[in-house]
Structure formats: C-alpha cells, structure tokens
Amino acid sequence: MGTLRNFINLLEPMRFFKFAVVGGIGLLVNTAVLYLLTTYVFGEKLYMLSAVFSMEVSILNNFILNEYWTFRDRAGKAGFLTRMLKFHGSRLLGAATSLFVLYALTDFFGIYYLVSNLVAVAAGTAVNYLTSNFWVWE
C-alpha cells in the first residue's frame, strides 16, 4: 500500500490534472487547425500533411501553457529554449504514436479522420506527461 501511495505521489495528481487541462486545450487547438487546413488549404487527400502542421501548432501551444502554469515552479532549472527543445524532442514518440494511430484508424478501419485524431491524441498523453514531468521540467 505504501508503494502505491509513493507511486501516486511521484506522479503528482494535481500537476497531472493541470497537464490534462492543457492537453484538452491543445486537443481543441489541434482539431481546429487540422480541420481548417484539411478543409480550406490542403484538402482531404492530404489530411496527414494537415495533421503534421496542426500537431506542431498544438505542441507550441502546450509548451507555453505548461511552462507558465503546469510546471511554473520548475521553470528556472534550465533555460527557456532548452526546455522548449526538450519538450519538442520528448514529443517525437508521442507524435509518431499519434500519427500511426491516426493513419491506421482512418485508412485501415475507415474511421472519420477527426474521430481518429481524438483517439490518436489520447494515445500519446501518458508518454507526453511522463517525459514532461521527469525530463523536460526535471
């Protein structure tokens, strides 16, 4: 029981809640940009290109929100640019997972790309939190 409590304390539930709120905002940003780029700029055949751009916009959005809210108490441990670069680097696995899930659900299972995107974003959340908590804002 003590080990479970230590593990829960290590994950910092309130910080995870803030991280999840930021993630929710990022999901809205990602979905809006994905929709706008797919519908008005690239077209549905190039939805994956739209997904790459929408992911970058949401990554920048999430970094800023996490920097000034979720991990504000850790902001001084490394430089802003260093944290931003680490944040981007830490998102490579989450991004690869998200893009794979988006592609698989849309192209192999015929699920509408915006619905697939919701599942894809959810798939990367745990990895993104752990890398943020234990590496970016260590």
The mean pLDDT value for 83-107 works out to: 90
Residue with tokens 């700029």: 41
Question: Alpha-carbon distance 72 to 68, whole Å?
Answer: 5
Task: Measure the CA angle with vertex 20, ends 16 and 24; round to 5°.
Answer: 170
Cβ atoms of 90 and 132 within 8 Å: the answer is yes
Predicted structure pTM score: 0.76
Element holding 93 (H helix, E strand):
helix 80-103
Please give the pLDDT value at position 5: 67
Cβ atoms of 120 and 105 within 8 Å: the answer is yes
Please give the pLDDT value at position 95: 84
Please give the pLDDT value at position 135: 87
Please give the pLDDT value at position 83: 93
Kindly report, residue by residue over 96-131, the tens digit of the pLDDT: 888 899 999 999 999 999 999 999 988 888 778 888
Q: What are phi and psi of 125, to 5 degrees?
A: -65, -45
Please give the pLDDT value at position 113: 93
Query: If you ran DSSP here, which 8-state letter would residue 40 be given?
Result: I
Is the pLDDT higher at 78 or at 22?
Answer: 22
User: What's the mean pLDDT when you consider all of the chain?
Assistant: 89
The one-letter amino acid code at 104 reads: A
Question: Alpha-carbon distance 128 to 37, whole Å?
Answer: 25
Please give the pLDDT value at position 87: 94
SS3 state of residue 12:
coil
